[in-house]
Amino acid sequence: MQRIIRTLRKRHVDCFFSINMLLNSIYFCNQEDYENLLTVLKDGRLSGKKCSDDNIAELKSTKCFRQGYSRHLRKEIRSAGIAQEKLDKWCIMFKCTSTEGSLPARGRCNPITKESSFTSETKTAALNCKETCQHLQDPLTLDEMHDVTPANSNSPHGLKEHLSRRGQSNLESFHLMLAQFGNTGIRESLADNLNLAGTAHHNLKIRHNEEKSDWFIDR
């Protein structure tokens, strides 16, 4: 998904909508978790303010929904056949040109720049995703794929938090957090000390989260 997203034009008016549709082509949220989240949003127990259907739809059209509530939703990977079909529909929905004999394009150009959402690399990245999406499914069950942290007894919403054991590797995720200290021209010993300090802080935070999760489970 990241390889496809990197090929999109970020300033296009439909960029964020196309990203949401692309994510929906690969995975969907667990129905029980999603229903519980909608219930507490409409009751106002999560944010302190009752949300209407229009408010929730507007919230889902921004990145705030994933950033704020994705930890309460377990993700289920679609089967290879469904993912390939949805990827085809996604390409048709957002591409602006089509070859002869293929389905007509339904995308629109940016009204300001007159550019399409897709670049020249998008089609190749989407085809590669179609070929490899058959390897995305996990042999473990949904419950075995997540670490669950029960809600605090004083929590008004009672939603559980789910941390996936899959997806991006912990090592790769941690590498994204390391700053390029060597590019600043500082001496090697100081760069090493800063990296070690950041590593220790990162590991300490993870340890505290795991201890917190174990404490809630024991209770």
Cβ atoms 19, 7 nearer than 8 A: no
Q: Is residue 145 part of a domain?
A: no
Q: Is residue 143 part of a domain?
A: no
- Residue 127 structural domain: 2-137
Helix (H, G, I), strand (E, B) or coil at 195: helix
180 pLDDT higher than 60: no
Over residues 43-72, the pLDDT tens digits come to: 998 878 899 999 998 888 888 888 889 989
Instruction: Look up the pTM and report it.
Output: 0.72
Q: How confident is the model at residue 203 (pLDDT cuts 50, 70, 90)?
A: confident
Residue recorded with tokens 């996604």: 90
Residues 52 and 93 in one domain: yes
**Model pLDDT, residue 208:** 79
Residues 37 and 122 in one domain: yes
Dist. CA 27–CA 100, nearest whole Å: 31
**Number of separate domains in the chain:** 2
**Model pLDDT, residue 151:** 86
Q: Output the average pLDDT for the chain.
A: 84
Write down which residue in 91, 119, 137 finishes a domain: 137
**Model pLDDT, residue 26:** 93
